[in-house]
Each structure stands twice: as C-alpha cells, then as structure tokens.
Amino acid sequence: MLAYTTYSEAGGVGKTTTAANLAHAHAQNGLKTLVIDLDPQEASISYIFGVDDDRDDGAADNLVRHMVGRGKGPFADLIREDTGVENLDVIPAHNMLSSLDTTMRRAKETEEQMNPDAEWVEEEQLYQLLGRNGIHEQYDAIICDPQASEGQGLYNAVMVTQTVLIPVELSGKGSLSIDGLEQLVDGLEDNLDIEVGVLGIVPVAFGDTTGQQQHLATLEEDIDYEVPAVFRKRESLMQEMWDARATAYQVVEEAYKDGEKGVRRVPDREHATLEKYDDLAAEIEAVFDA
C-alpha cells in the first residue's frame, strides 16, 4: 500500500494543492485513494473536495472524537465518497483539530488514570484507529495532509504513513524551510522513534528569477533528498482550484473560470502542469511498488 504525508514547515506554499492533485492522479491511475485532512485551517483539502459542510458544527461526529475514543457513530460514516472524483474518498477536517493537542493530552490523562498499567500513546491514536477499522485493507493509497506546524496532527499523520513528501517555495517564507529540511525529518524521527522516509522535496510556484534558480541549485546540490519534480508558477490555475473547489485536473478538464464551468481557455502550459502531476504520481507509485 502507498501512504505518505504532505508537509511543509511554512503555510501557503502549495502543500494542500499538491496533496489534492496527487490524490486525483493516484485515483485516476486506479488506486482506491483516501485523503485524511488534519489541517484545522478553513482553506484545507476538505474545502477543495466540497466535504467541509460539518466543519463548524460542534455537535457533529468527527475524526478528533474518534481519535480519543469519543466517536458518536461508526467510524465509516466519517468517510466521504462525494468528492466528485472516482476512487477518491476524504475524511474531512473539523474545527476540533485546532485544539487537538490539548484534547489528546486530556484523553491521555483520563485513560492512564483509569488504566494505570496501560500507556496511551498520543502519537499512535490515528494509526490504531485506522487499524481497528481495516482502512489499510480497504485502500490502495492514503495521503495525510496535516497543518503546517508541529503537533499531534503532524505526528499522528507521520506515524500512519512513515513517509513524507515536502513541497516548498524557493522564495520568501517557503525558502526559510530549506535550511532546516534535514533537521525537520530528524526531529520527526526523534519524536516518534521511527525511521521516516522522504519521497522528495517538491518546489512549487517556481519562477525564473535568479534567486529561485540559486535556491534550486542549493536544494539539488546540498540537500540529501531527491527533487522528483519542479512545478512552475501557475497562479491562475492554482487560484481557480479554490474558486471552483476543484482539483487542477477538474479545472482544466471542465474549463473552470471564476468558479464557472466551460469558460476557461486552457493554455498548453496548464496541460503540461497536469502531466507533471501524472509523472510525479507515477514515480511515487513506483517507489512503493519497488
């Protein structure tokens, strides 16, 4: 089975759009794909796939409740199949994720008071939840998309996948994370006491400025990870994903513009971007098949 977490230390650097487009690519390659949204921000992958309708409902059942053993119904009912993409399901984010660390800490205290001989490991709760519900047997691919900061959302995601894909922007706040990429992975390994695989570093919104070219050269020469793909700046296409609540594939195939179908004139460069996602998805699948 294929499983990885998309993660970047900086927010707003294409983490979620990368996850959404790769999930679509895996699904159209015939892989039954599950995306687990662990990002409490409103602009999350649940929004892109149109399954965020219960996000603000404090009474709604959600992933956090199940992670601490307080689910209101069957876990299977959390999985949304109405994503608009065949073979692609999503477990949506909920606002309770914003207090996940506190909720997990309290749950740990309660569980260990009630069962003094048992250890309730916060970082393993999503892994155990998926295992109890046979998720690994039901899906060919799992992609976790946590928040762009350390915490239980990230730790639980990586414990499930034990592999990360790291999108970065080679300018501004995105470039700040380049210097700490290896330290980031080392930190995850130390915190979780596991070996974390790195599928690669993926530059997004790449331009032809001297600064970005220099950052890319540094990345390729000095960082001990692969750079399997470089995605050029496609502001209109990426913005339309949010306007249309669609993946880049859907934007191009259904010619979305300003949220309306059949309006967009699709330039060749946008088709080339989809081919890049196709190639990256195929490379990731090959890694797990090896």
Q: At what angle do helices 125-132 and 152-161 cross, to 10 degrees?
A: 50
227-256 tens-digit pLDDT: 999 999 999 999 999 999 999 999 999 999
127-147 pLDDT per residue, tens: 999 999 999 999 999 999 999
Coil/strand/helix, residue 36: strand
d(CA 53, CA 88): 18
- Tens digit of each residue's pLDDT (9 = 90 or more) over 6-41: 998 776 668 999 999 999 999 999 999 999 999 988
pLDDT in tens, 68-86: 999 999 999 999 999 999 9
pLDDT value for 238: 94
Would you state the pLDDT for residue 178?
60
The residue written with tokens 């609540």 in the block is 245
Sheet holding 33-38, edge to edge: 88-91, 33-38, 141-146, 2-6, 163-169, 197-204
Q: How do residues 196-232 score in pLDDT, each as one tens digit?
A: 999 999 999 888 788 888 888 888 888 889 999 999 9
Dihedral sign, Cα of residue 60, residue 64, residue 68, residue 74:
positive
Q: How far is CA 212 from CA 5, 14, 179, 200, 220, in A?
A: 25, 16, 14, 18, 12
Cα 66 to Cα 70: distance, rounded to the nearest angstrom: 5
Report pLDDT for 176.
47
Q: What is the pLDDT of residue 35?
A: 98
What does the pLDDT read at residue 284? Answer: 98
Q: What's the predicted TM-score (pTM) here?
A: 0.95
Classified as helix, coil or strand, 166 is: strand
Token pair belonging to 80 = 């949304």
Checking if the pLDDT of 173 tops 80, the result is no
Of the candidates 154, 187, 195, 119, the one whose C-alpha atom is nearest the C-alpha of residue 5 is: 154
Token pair 């602009």 is at which residue? 43
| C-alpha closest to that of 242 among 2, 95, 47 | 47
Q: What is the mean pLDDT of the chain?
A: 92
- CA nearest neighbour of 67 among 160, 191, 186, 185: 160
Q: Tell me, what's the pLDDT at 172?
A: 58
Contact between residue 281 and residue 256 where contact means Cβ atoms under 8 Å apart: no
Reported confidence tier of residue 177, pLDDT bands at 50, 70, 90: low
